[in-house]
Structure 1
Amino acid sequence: MSYYSLEAEQAALGSIILQPDLIYESILTAEEFYHGPHQTIFESMEFIREREKKIDLVSLTMSIGEKIQDVGGVDYLSRLSQSVPTVANFLEHEKIIKEKYLLRTGFNSMKAIFNDGADDPNTLAAELMGIAEFIEDHNRGTDYFKHIKDGVMQHFDVINDKKYNGKPNGASTAGKDLDDITGKWKPQTLNIIAARPSVGKTAFLLNNAVRNGKEGLTVAIFSLEMPDLQLYDRMISAECNIDGSRIESGQLRDEEWETYTIGLSELAKLDIYIDDRPGLSIQEIRAAVRKLKKKCPDLIVYIDYLQLIKGGKKFSNRNRNDEVGYISSSLKQMARENDCPVVALAQLSRSVEQRQDKRPMMSDLRESGNIEQDADTITFLYRDDYYNAETEKKNIIEFIVSKNRNGRTGTAEMVNLKNYGKFADYERYQG
């Protein structure tokens, strides 16, 4: 089986020379050509297109410049245009070139995986899933448009479900005021919760996860920092209102045992899945989410935390910011392809400690990469008593929504009942 077609490449390039406007319709990239001279010729065509000039033998020759002999000279360019009797089959030639490119890329990627060796079957499966996703993403058709008639009917179905069937408008957070600002966490969105260590990120995540489970959602938690038993300690403490230290030590009072057993049975009813493998790659997470989505359509995904995710072997010798940027964009793609909210915790850099006002801002996102760009919402947690022992805001956490792609920004306050790892709305707690 051949992994390239020189004939299709020649026909595609010759068609563009014959009918230059085809370059504006082309979905090809230079790297998708197998033949090196053809890559150079197509790059020159793209260069001319970007400058809004007409592609012909003269402009191509000038654009290719000193490399003209490397591509076969002017004679070869002329033969390309003469070898195509009609441009009617241009789309078919493009399709052949793209398919051959995907076959080559898939084959070479799999060869590299097997040459490097995989640590375990799960890693191998995730790497292969990454290849499959790449091929699927690049093997789509060219007709992406949806007619507004189809779109508005889809919109009607969504609104009708919300109004008459009680379908929730997104996944709730642990606080009503925060819901009012964010509009809840919607499907296909990436939501970042960021704070310095020990402010309450994980406790907030678990409060949300339990609430979502009670709403009927399936909850997936990827805990890269903490083993699952510690998460259970925290969830049980918050659910049963039992001091976390007694849960951890097992020294429950006699009167707490009944509350504890009832709380366990209530938590066991929730559709919550926890994956506590450390050092997960983004490919492994995407593979696990895709598998869970197939059997649990109403899904929300939580990740603790973003900077602990690995980008895969291709980032072993590359800049960490690039790797985090790749991970954040992959999380956004994961939210879209699985039609679910993704909520990822993130660490803040120490730069926040160097300012007089310690409230976080966008520039404090550690190894930020593209996080600010990819996220639909970014919420910072701030505890004044973390820095100021004399503050009047004891056990109060500010939730600073600094980015909200589809709504307003603002600050909500919640009470942090630290002994129980529990959050409560400030006004209702005061009342």
Structure 2
Amino acid sequence: MEKPDGVTQYSMDAEKAVLRAVLGSSDAVADIVEILHPDDFYRPAHGLIYTTILDLYSRNEPHDHIAVAAELVKHEQLERAGGDEYLRAVAGGSSKRSDTWMRQAERVQAFAVLRRTREAAVHIEDMAVGGDAENIDQLADAAQAEIFAATVRCRTGLPPSYALGDILEGLLDEFDAGGQTGVPTGFTDLDLLTGGLHPGQLIVIAARPAMGKSTFVLNLLRNAAIKNNLAAALFTLELERLDISRRIMSAEARVALHHMRAGILTDDDWTRLARRMPDVSTAPLFIQDTAYRTFTDLRAHCRRLHAQQRLRLIAVDALHLLNYGTRQLGSRYEEISEISRCLKLLAKELQIPIIAVSTLNRAAEQRVDKKPMMNDLRDSGALEDNADIVILIHREDAYERDSPRAGEADLIVAKHRDGPTATITVAYQGHYSRFVDMATA
């Protein structure tokens, strides 16, 4: 392929140098197979020769030019590969230096990426010309997929293998750290149960309205960013950023939230706020309360912010307000299922825990004890399937004002993929917009 200005986007010399290296050298094949695929070669005959070499190598058979020619004759493909004379010419003067063949392989790969990127750009332009405002989300996803497919091979080779001894060494380091290597939640019993929130996990926090699920998630974010200086982010359609800042300052300074909302702060309130303001204002906590009405937007924001700040924790509040795209899938059930699946994949991709806030359906309110169960999750059972941890929040005093358990909340760990489930009781201090351990209430 040539660029419009006539500059070629391939190198015959580099392609021949690579073939020269792998003809007969198992070391060269082992190195280059991590970089090059047969379709990375511009000349089809070179791709065919390379494929034949890999086939012979995989069968642990000789793969010099004589063996390759015999294999091509066997499959009646020698002429397509340029003929015996061409194969002999390519094999002549084989290089023994690994740095030379690796450099040439990288050059072949780079040209292949350039060609695929141009092809992707042409395809994206065709899609854009034929698109409209109704399918912009599908177009954006398709465009990202095209560019990723065009460039992914230049980012990584074959996935690495890990020696068991190296893995065990990491396990021993975890034991030395007390078993908790995840992001701490700030709740003693919950951290003992889970070891913190771990990379790649999807954690679902669910409750009926007015149970404090957004407050609880803010607790987790505050503990990560303010108490432990770990970068964290909240993506919310539930709350507005000034309300979030009020809640955070109320919890941190122990200033009544209704005082802050009404603007009737006492001298003691001002003193408490001034004391906590420096630590809170410098904490690596990021808030996004607009511009992610679809999951496509959310995923793009998460990736960008993670690249900039190296996030350790992300929370999404709330799933029932989020659409997968501008147009829904077949049903809301399917849409929430796809969102939860993609959140789990995003957590694995970014290698950080992601918290998803969900609202429970009304089934719990039909039961005598009102306690929620996992099948009360709204819209989708797939949310339960994709989650690593599901925590249901329940407060008796939300239903009975005179409950003997006033001020208490149950964190019902209904699912824990890597450990036991349990019900953990904590104190709910709604006037300070926070949950705390019972021992410190």
Question: What's the TM-score once normalised by structure 2's chain length?
Answer: 0.67
Shift of 1:306: 1.4
2:330 aligned residue = 318
Q: Report the 3-state secondary structure (helix = DSSP H, G, I; strand = E; otherwise coil) of the residue aligned with 1:295.
A: helix
Instruction: Name which one, 1 or 2, has greater alpha-carbon Rg.
Output: 2
1:173 aligned residue = 185
Shift of 1:138: 9.9
Residue 229 (structure 1) aligned to one of 242, 258, 261:
242
Q: 1:113 to 1:144 in 2, by over 3 A?
A: farther
Residue 270 (structure 1) aligned to one of 255, 275, 283:
283
Shift of 1:146: 4.7
Shift of 1:388: 2.6
CA distance in 2, matches of 1:377, 1:329: 14
Q: Deviations over 1:107-160 (max 9, x none)?
A: 3697258722389xxx87x963664257637986799665341x5425524753
Q: Is the 8 A contact 1:109 1:131 kept in 2?
A: no
CA distance in 2, matches of 1:226, 1:204: 13
1:147 aligned residue = 161
Are 1:132 and 2:144 counterparts?
yes
CA distance in 2, matches of 1:137, 1:306: 29
Shift of 1:316: 2.9
2:210 aligned residue = 198
CA distance in 1, matches of 2:146, 2:404: 53
Are 1:341 and 2:357 counterparts?
no
Identity in percent: 27
Aligned-partner residue type, residue 269 of structure 2: E
CA distance in 2, matches of 1:138, 1:372: 35
Q: Report the 3-state secondary structure (helix = DSSP H, G, I; strand = E; otherwise coil) of the residue aligned with 1:356.
A: coil
Q: Is the 8 A contact 1:190 1:332 kept in 2?
A: yes
Residue 402 (structure 1) aligned to one of 404, 410, 414:
414
Q: Report the 3-state secondary structure (helix = DSSP H, G, I; strand = E; otherwise coil) of the residue aligned with 1:419.
A: helix
1:306 aligned residue = 319
2:403 aligned residue = 391
Q: Is the 8 A contact 1:223 1:278 kept in 2?
A: no
Aligned-partner residue type, residue 116 of structure 1: D
Gaps of 5+ in 2: 2-74, 82-111
1:223-302 matches, within 5 Å, as 223-277=236-290, 280-302=293-315
Shift of 1:185: 0.6
Shift of 1:201: 0.6
Q: 1:152 to 1:111 in 2, by over 3 A?
A: farther
Q: Is the 8 A contact 1:322 1:369 kept in 2?
A: no
CA distance in 2, matches of 1:127, 1:167: 45
2:439 aligned residue = 427
Shift of 1:317: 5.5
Q: Is the 8 A contact 1:188 1:342 kept in 2?
A: yes
Aligned residues: 335
Point out the more displaced range, 175-184 or 102-111.
102-111
Aligned-partner residue type, residue 223 of structure 1: T
Are 1:115 and 2:128 counterparts?
no
Q: Is the 8 A contact 2:120 2:150 kept in 1?
A: no
CA distance in 1, matches of 2:122, 2:413: 41
CA distance in 1, matches of 2:129, 2:174: 46
CA distance in 2, matches of 1:113, 1:265: 52
Q: 1:237 to 1:412 in 2, by over 3 A?
A: same
1:342-357 matches, within 5 Å, as 342-357=354-369
CA distance in 2, matches of 1:105, 1:357: 59
Point out the more displaced range, 138-147 or 294-303.
138-147
Q: Report the 3-state secondary structure (helix = DSSP H, G, I; strand = E; otherwise coil) of the residue aligned with 1:273.
A: strand
Q: Report the 3-state secondary structure (helix = DSSP H, G, I; strand = E; otherwise coil) of the residue aligned with 1:255.
A: helix
CA distance in 1, matches of 2:429, 2:158: 50
CA distance in 2, matches of 1:281, 1:403: 27
CA distance in 2, matches of 1:106, 1:366: 42
Q: 1:179 to 1:269 in 2, by over 3 A?
A: same
Q: Is the 8 A contact 2:180 2:195 kept in 1?
A: no
Are 1:156 and 2:169 counterparts?
yes
What is the root-mean-square deviation in Å for CA atoms of aligned residues?
3.7
Shift of 1:252: 0.4
Q: 1:354 to 1:134 in 2, by over 3 A?
A: farther
1:26 aligned residue = none
Q: Deviations over 1:39-74 (max 9, x none)?
A: xxxxxxxxxxxxxxxxxxxxxxxxxxxxxxxxxxxx
Shift of 1:397: 0.5
Aligned-partner residue type, residue 219 of structure 1: A
Q: Report the 3-state secondary structure (helix = DSSP H, G, I; strand = E; otherwise coil) of the residue aligned with 2:432.
A: coil
Aligned-partner residue type, residue 295 of structure 2: I
Aligned-partner residue type, residue 328 of structure 1: S
CA distance in 1, matches of 2:235, 2:433: 19
Gaps of 5+ in 1: 2-83, 90-95
1:366 aligned residue = 378
Q: 1:114 to 1:235 in 2, by over 3 A?
A: farther
CA distance in 2, matches of 1:109, 1:318: 28
Aligned-partner residue type, residue 166 of structure 2: M
Q: Is the 8 A contact 2:250 2:257 kept in 1?
A: yes
Q: Deviations over 1:210-229 (max 9, x none)?
A: 11012121011001111100
Aligned-partner residue type, residue 284 of structure 1: D
